[in-house]
Amino acid sequence: MRQVINIISGFIFGLAPLAGATIIGIAIYASLPNTIGIIILGLLGVLSIWLGLKIFKRVQIVGPIEFMTAVHASPDLDNLEPTKDSETKRRFPEEFVRIVENNDNLFKGGTFRIFGDWFGKPYDNYHEIESAEYDEQLKRLTLNFNEGEKLEIYNPKHIFEASTFLKIINADRIQLTWFYYGKTQTKENQYFLDYNLKDKKVTTETNVDWYKPIFDVSLGEPALMIYG
């Protein structure tokens, strides 16, 4: 059902650029009813079709609600110190490990989103935090989850925690490993998604072999969001 909704809404949203280009093209051709006007009209048509296809594909990935409500804010604007009475708390890696060990963490678990790229369908799965570790030498924060999932976050900066989310604004690299769900947790059934930020570009790598992942990363998104 969700796939059908995504296809229909993607088709509708994808038609918007074509409709806009048609109106603009008619106005231009009315002023330039010659070869130049036809060329401009053709270019607008090609551009609108390309943009419409991009929108259609985007809606298939994130869904219509996420597409309509997405706000791509700068991480610099996100990096604001919470007030004393705020429900959001700034954490340092060692501090977050300690509160997880004491079961004092506000955030218990949720859905992963790495550099804007969802793990699975948006809000369609839940992963509970079981333990955390921090390697000071490697500057690596490791979060372990209840079904064997593991997030390794290298050089995490600006960590914010609330009861409904865990946000890490900046990181140099994030690797997610998990076991194929429904199979035994052996090395042969373990898979990874690797996101590496270098020179203002996120490169990705994976060993997933049963489908071809479509990475939907963005530098405008926090390095890690876990939505509860």
pTM recorded for the entire structure: 0.69
Write down the residue that tokens 């997880």 correspond to.
100
Q: CA 208, 209, 211 angle in degrees (round to 5)? A: 90
Tokens for 216, please give them: 């939907």
- Higher-confidence residue of 45 and 171: namely 171
Tens digit of each residue's pLDDT (9 = 90 or more) over 26-85? 888 777 788 887 888 788 888 888 888 878 776 666 566 555 655 444 444 455 566 767
Q: Let me know: does 110 contact 151? Beta carbons within 8 Å.
A: no
Tens digit of each residue's pLDDT (9 = 90 or more) over 98-111? 999 999 999 999 99
Mean pLDDT of the chain: 85
Tens digit of each residue's pLDDT (9 = 90 or more) over 85-99? 788 899 999 999 999
The yes-or-no verdict on residue 155 having pLDDT over 80 is: yes
CA distance linking residue 10 with residue 50, whole number of Å: 14
Write down the residue that tokens 């300690």 correspond to.
98
CA distance linking residue 219 with residue 3, whole number of Å: 27
pLDDT recorded at residue 74: 43
Write down the residue that tokens 């900046």 correspond to.
170
Strands 109-114 and 165-170: unpaired
